[in-house]
Amino acid sequence: MSSVDVRARMNAIGILKEKFKIILDQIQRGEKPTLVMPKRVLSNTIYDEKNKMLLLGPDVLRRSLIDVNEARKFMQTLLMASIIYEALVNNEYPTIRDLYYRGKHSIGYRDVDGKLVHENTWDEQKESDSVIRDLEVFMNVLREEMLILSKEKGKVVGNLVIKSGDDTIDLSKMGHGAYSIEPTPDLVEFRDVDAEYVLVVEKDAVFQQLHRYGFWRKYRAILVTSAGQPDRATRRFVRRLNEELKLPVYVLTDSDPYGFYIYSVFKIGSITLSYESERLATPSARFIGVSMTDVFGDEVFREVLDEVKEVGGFTKTALGKLKKKKPYLSESERRNYVIKAKQRDIERAVELVGYDVADKCVESSELRSKLKKKEGLTGYPWFRTPDWVRELCIFFKTLNKLEIEAMASKGLKFLADTYIPSKIEGGDWID
């Protein structure tokens, strides 16, 4: 076992003992065994505008053994804590799926009528996963710091030397492959780096193209892919590159509401894991594209401004001050590359920026009537900015989307040597 793992294991064991000794002390004092932790719910999730990240609010819940509404969750929490503790002291590396099966069993008891009843500790993995997240909140420790493993998803390549376990790995010597970001990214030590920035690419296929092309060598970049929706390890790794190595982070996604949301998960955090945004989110991350203005320019948006007084709470005058943009694609290229948005794309866009923007920008009265059920949605605060209102308004106006691969289809040289460098060097991003 590596010395790094030993230290992490001993630290996690110490925290578990310290935190759950509280329950033992309560019992010895004749008090009700109670766990107190921050509420991990949407109503207690706050967008910290100053620090640009999602955080848990001040509300707490009290999970007591003798509270009929909380007793099941209380016992599940202690059961999961004991399983994790046993895995730690036995030098094991369980996955979240392992933990689900280790704790899944039936408990038999007799009800008030004397009838024998059996109840499962938990029925589905989402129950045990939720308990693990509760433990993270209660202990203020990531599951990765307790050596709980998950599937490797993200990849990285570049002029970066790391130490993983007792091995030193040069990420510039990975051949045509790349280093798979391990499930415990905090146990990785950065030894040496020669890079100017981090480029996070949503699509694994585009990441591979840029890697084979030698983009990261030519432009001194650390190239990362999240292979779609980013996992925790990739988000933490990117945060560390930014925070510890002071490397700016740029995110390249599809030009659609799902790509925009993936960017926001890297930058702001996610509602589910808002309790760990300070370790997982990268507030300074910049969106370099693919944006709707890269595809259509901003003339479409200016047509909307000619017809309305405001969009998304911003006046026509304020929105008109946005820097004019020309598209990177010709009209014929747009016809070849854009894809018609589906209903779920449109509904996701409404969730991001709010119904009022859709109402102003969607041309079809029939479509607007379908979106009436979304009328109460006001959008996420971090998308209610002039730049993002323009981007989403163009999406609603054109009802088209575009994948990163379309830029590569225009030519890999264009993507690698024109589009990405010019966007970064020219400051053409959304912050």
Does position 392 have pLDDT exceeding 80, yes or no?
yes
Task: Please indicate, yes or no, if residue 104 is contained in any of the structural domains.
Answer: yes
| Range from 80-84, 389-393, 401-405, 422-426 carrying the lowest mean pLDDT | 401-405
Distance separating alpha carbons of residues 72 and 23, to the nearest angstrom: 16
Distance separating alpha carbons of residues 215 and 201, to the nearest angstrom: 12
Please, are residues 221 and 312 in contact by the beta-carbon 8 Å criterion?
Answer: no
28 and 142, same domain (yes or no): yes
Please, are residues 116 and 186 in contact by the beta-carbon 8 Å criterion?
Answer: no
Per the DSSP assignment, residues forming a β-bridge with 201 are: 225, 252
Could you count the other beta carbons within 10 Å of the beta carbon of residue 121? Answer: 18
Enumerate residues 6+ apart whose C-beta is below 8 A from 149: 93, 94, 95, 96, 183, 184
117 and 8, same domain (yes or no): yes
Q: Is 70 helix (H, G, I), strand (E, B) or coil?
A: coil
Distance separating alpha carbons of residues 279 and 270, to the nearest angstrom: 12
pLDDT of residue 257: 93
Please, are residues 398 and 361 in contact by the beta-carbon 8 Å criterion?
Answer: no
pLDDT of residue 381: 86
Q: Which of 100, 120, 146 is the endpoint of a domain?
A: 146
Percent of the chain with pLDDT over 90: 41
Using CA atoms, how far residue 334 sits from 53, 303, 354, 414, in Å, is 35, 19, 27, 15
Task: Please indicate, yes or no, if residue 164 is contained in any of the structural domains.
Answer: yes
Q: Which of 111, 146, 181 is the endpoint of a domain?
A: 146
Please, are residues 183 and 153 in contact by the beta-carbon 8 Å criterion?
Answer: no
65 and 176, same domain (yes or no): no
Task: Please indicate, yes or no, if residue 279 is contained in any of the structural domains.
Answer: no
Distance separating alpha carbons of residues 266 and 250, to the nearest angstrom: 10
**What confidence tens digit (pLDDT) does each residue in 266-323 have?**
998 877 776 677 788 899 999 998 999 998 988 888 888 888 888 888 888 888 888 8
The DSSP code for 124 is S
- Got the DSSP string for 255-300? BSHHHHHHHHHHHT--STTGGGHHHH--TT-EEEE--HHHHH-SHH
pLDDT of residue 325: 87
Mean pLDDT of the region 69-94: 91
> What is the token pair recorded at 288?
């370099």
Does position 160 have pLDDT exceeding 90, yes or no?
yes
What is the CATH classification number for the domain harbouring 188?
3.40.1360.10
CA torsion through residues 376, 380, 386, 388, sign: negative
- Specify the number of domains making up the chain: 3
Per the DSSP assignment, residues forming a β-bridge with 286 are: 250
Higher pLDDT, 131 or 187: 131
162 and 212, same domain (yes or no): yes
Task: Please indicate, yes or no, if residue 300 is contained in any of the structural domains.
Answer: yes
pTM: 0.85
pLDDT of residue 409: 75
Distance separating alpha carbons of residues 378 and 353, to the nearest angstrom: 7
> What is the token pair recorded at 133?
């997240």
**What confidence tens digit (pLDDT) does each residue in 211-267 have?**
999 999 999 999 999 888 888 899 999 999 999 999 999 999 999 999 999 999 999
136 and 18, same domain (yes or no): yes
47 and 100, same domain (yes or no): yes
119 and 22, same domain (yes or no): yes
Residue count (the chain): 431
Task: Please indicate, yes or no, if residue 420 is contained in any of the structural domains.
Answer: no
Please, are residues 263 and 253 in contact by the beta-carbon 8 Å criterion?
Answer: yes
- Phi, psi at residue 342, to the nearest 5°? -95, 170
Distance separating alpha carbons of residues 342 and 2, to the nearest angstrom: 50
> First-to-last CA distance in the chain?
42
> What is the token pair recorded at 152?
């490797």
- Beta strands 160-164 and 188-193, pairing class: antiparallel
Percent of the chain with pLDDT over 70: 97
Mean pLDDT of the region 3-21: 89
Does position 373 have pLDDT exceeding 70, yes or no?
no
39 and 130, same domain (yes or no): yes
pLDDT of residue 372: 66
pLDDT of residue 179: 92
From the list 101, 197, 213, 328, the catalytic residue is 101
Higher pLDDT, 142 or 151: 142
Domain with 342, as residue range(s), is 292-401
pLDDT of residue 299: 87
> Ramachandran region of residue 276, left (φ > 0), alpha (ψ -120 to 50) or beta?
alpha
Q: Which of 114, 146, 178 is the endpoint of a domain?
A: 146
- Establish whether 101 is a catalytic residue: yes
Higher pLDDT, 124 or 2: 124
Task: Please indicate, yes or no, if residue 344 is contained in any of the structural domains.
Answer: yes
212 and 257, same domain (yes or no): yes
Q: How confident is the model at residue 1 (pLDDT cuts 50, 70, 90)?
A: low
Using CA atoms, how far residue 164 sits from 26, 170, 171, 177, 183, in Å, is 41, 11, 12, 18, 11
Task: Please indicate, yes or no, if residue 94 is contained in any of the structural domains.
Answer: yes
Please, are residues 160 and 192 in contact by the beta-carbon 8 Å criterion?
Answer: yes
Distance separating alpha carbons of residues 153 and 225, to the nearest angstrom: 9
> What is the token pair recorded at 71?
């007793």
What is the CATH classification number for the domain harbouring 7?
1.10.10.10
Task: Please indicate, yes or no, if residue 410 is contained in any of the structural domains.
Answer: no
68 and 166, same domain (yes or no): no
Q: How confident is the model at residue 190 (pLDDT cuts 50, 70, 90)?
A: very high
298 and 385, same domain (yes or no): yes
Q: How confident is the model at residue 419 (pLDDT cuts 50, 70, 90)?
A: very high
pLDDT of residue 39: 84
Can you say how many angstroms the Cα of residue 262 is from the centroid of all Cα atoms in its chain?
6
Can you say how many angstroms the Cα of residue 268 is from the centroid of all Cα atoms in its chain?
8
9 and 122, same domain (yes or no): yes
User: 318-323 — which CB contacts under 8 Å span 24+ positions?
Assistant: 318/386, 319/386, 319/389, 319/390, 322/298, 322/386, 322/387, 322/390
